[in-house]
């Protein structure tokens, strides 16, 4: 595929996702926010959510579900979204609170925090796969929203880059686990790090019950 062909496909995708948002928002809504999170599955680190309000004339091609983009492309789009957005905000819930309230509730709390941190009040929320019970703003939830909605995809990119940068910083503090590569997910290198060095203060203990029980049994001579 040539560069021009790739750009044409990206522009078509941009138009398609913008149209989805506008249809879902309706003609009477000026400001709507896309909401998405990253970090539900990792063994370590926080869950991070982003809320993004894009202008009607947003025309930067290449926006897509963050998982389908390269790290370089995400970083590039992160800066462009920040520059162009009407508003954006983040919500972060750490591993300790994830252990206390469970990952679903932590995800909802991160999303709620992101929405409440916006300076511009949205009239509608477009959310990827989650419904927020404690928010009075009208909302719509979509399965695979980050593939359909431009605003949700933008939020996905913002959340992903923010969390990845956090995990790279943690890699400097805890170098045994290859966090700079796996971002806290359960890769072979990550499990090998746990086996050699144990768990860190950023690990989610509720995600590592089998390992913790095994360690406890070993200490007790079972």
The closest alpha carbon to 44, from 209, 212, 201, belongs to 201
Specify whether the CB–CB gap between 39 and 45 falls below 8 A: yes
What topology is assigned to 3-172 in CATH?
Nucleotidyltransferase; domain 5 (3.30.420)
Beta strand ranges found along the chain (DSSP E): 32-38, 47-53, 87-93, 124-128, 139-142
Q: How far apart are alpha carbons 205 and 94 in whole angstroms?
A: 12
pLDDT score, position 3: 84
Q: How far apart are alpha carbons 70 and 48 in whole angstroms?
A: 19
Give pLDDT tens digits along the chain (222 positions). 788 888 899 999 999 999 999 999 998 999 999 999 999 999 999 999 999 999 999 999 999 999 999 999 999 999 999 999 999 999 999 999 999 999 999 999 999 999 999 999 999 999 999 999 989 999 999 999 999 999 999 999 999 999 999 999 999 999 999 999 999 999 999 999 999 999 999 999 999 987 775 444 444 444
CA 186 vs CA 41, 49, 194: distances in Å: 9, 21, 10
Under DSSP, is residue 124 helix (H, G, I), strand (E, B) or coil? Answer: strand
pLDDT score, position 219: 45
Any idea where the domains of the chain sit in the sequence? 3-172
The two three-digit tokens of residue 77, written as one number: 């789009």
């Amino acid at each position: 595929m040539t560069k021009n062909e790739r750009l044409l496909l990206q522009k078509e995708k941009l138009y398609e996702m913008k149209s989805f948002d506008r249809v879902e928002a309706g003609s009477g809504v000026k400001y709507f926010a896309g909401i998405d999170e990253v970090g539900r599955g990792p063994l370590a680190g926080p869950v991070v959510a982003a809320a993004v309000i894009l202008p009607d004339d947003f025309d930067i091609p290449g926006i897509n579900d963050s998982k389908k983009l390269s790290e370089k492309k995400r970083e590039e789009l992160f800066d462009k979204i920040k520059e162009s957005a009407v508003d954006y905000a983040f919500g972060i819930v750490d591993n300790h609170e994830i252990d206390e309230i469970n990952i679903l509730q932590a995800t909802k709390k991160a999303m709620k925090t992101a929405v409440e941190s916006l300076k511009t009040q949205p009239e509608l929320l477009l959310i990827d796969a989650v419904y927020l019970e404690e928010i009075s703003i009208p909302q719509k939830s979509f399965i695979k929203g980050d593939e359909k909605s431009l605003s949700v995809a933008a939020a996905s990119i913002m959340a992903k880059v923010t969390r990845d940068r956090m995990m790279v910083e943690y890699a400097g503090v805890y170098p045994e686990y290859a966090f700079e590569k796996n971002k806290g997910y359960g890769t072979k290198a990550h499990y090998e790090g746990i086996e050699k060095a144990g768990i860190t203060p950023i690990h989610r203990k509720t995600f590592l019950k089998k390992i913790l029980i095994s360690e406890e049994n070993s200490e007790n001579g079972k």
